[in-house]
Amino acid sequence: MSMQGLMERQQHGRLDLMAQVRKGEFAAAVESAAVAYGPFPVLYAKNGYVLGTGSLIQRPELMFVAGGRAVPAAQAWIDEIPDPICAEAGLAVYRVRMEEEQLMQADVFAEEKGLEDALIFFRLGLSLHVMDKSQAHLQNRESDNLPTIQQPAVKMSYSEFLIHFHTVLSQYREGAVEGEGAELSFYPHLHRHIDQGMRHLLTLMGGHGYLRTGILHVGYLSDLILNLYGSEGYPS
């Protein structure tokens, strides 16, 4: 496959991932992303943590990727950190320790970049999920004799979100802007915009959003992913 062909395939893969997360299929999205970049399922073990699913972690051919290296999951020391909110979303977080001698040198740079990209698109998908859910909620509500969705303040919140969303997508497509440290700032910049956009959505469902059926749980997942895998420089 040509380089351009590969890039197009990856781009499609990321958009598919975002669409799957948008539909609320969080676990399925993690599982599809894990098998999207090579012959073996791969999970990102940056910072010693892995976000995965119960079934993925049991697959004997699973590999962990971190710091340009890969190690078979079977050789790593894995410990689940219980979290009810992840569990409800079908996800699980694991503490992972890989011994130095067990690590095998592998040319996995492309996969690692792919995984960084997947995080961006997973979080974008989460924000779209929140947008859809809040829209569905507000569609049937009224305030001051106007559908709540038509209230200027609500429209402003959606616009603010869309500005950040569009910024992330267009920056991603263009790559890092030129200048000193641009490469290092690339992912932190995208994550920051995702956070800022999400913030405009999370209050739209009022107290309903705080319930288990609401959207703040999704905001929690988005923050958790960033906390586990946070790019160098953000949050700091």
| Beta carbon of residue 92, minimum distance to another protein (angstroms, whole number) | 11
| Beta carbon of residue 81, minimum distance to another protein (angstroms, whole number) | 5
Closer CB to another protein, residue 165 or residue 229? 229
| Beta carbon of residue 142, minimum distance to another protein (angstroms, whole number) | 8
**What's the gap between Cα 26 and its chain centre?**
9
Q: What is the Cα–Cα distance from 157 to 127, expressed in whole angstroms?
A: 13
Q: What is the Cα–Cα distance from 82 to 92, expressed in whole angstroms?
A: 7
Closer CB to another protein, residue 175 or residue 227? 227
Closer CB to another protein, residue 3 or residue 153? 153
Closer CB to another protein, residue 40 or residue 210? 210
Closer CB to another protein, residue 145 or residue 170? 145
Phi, psi of 64 (to 5 degrees): -105, 140
Give contact residues for another protein (rule: CB under 8 A).
46-49, 81, 83, 85, 93, 95, 140-141, 143, 153, 203, 206-208, 210-212, 214, 216-217, 219-220, 223-224, 227-230, 235-236
Structure tokens at 182: 């641009």
| Beta carbon of residue 18, minimum distance to another protein (angstroms, whole number) | 23
Find, among 107, 130, 113, 127, the residue nearest to 187 by Cα: 113
- What burial class does residue 144 get, using C-beta atoms within 10 Å of its C-beta: 0-12 exposed, 13-18 middle, 19+ buried? exposed
Q: What is the Cα–Cα distance from 13 to 118, expressed in whole angstroms?
A: 9
Q: What is the Cα–Cα distance from 107 to 92, expressed in whole angstroms?
A: 27
| Beta carbon of residue 202, minimum distance to another protein (angstroms, whole number) | 8
| Beta carbon of residue 213, minimum distance to another protein (angstroms, whole number) | 8
Closer CB to another protein, residue 39 or residue 84? 84
Q: How many CB atoms lie within 10 A of CB 142?
A: 12
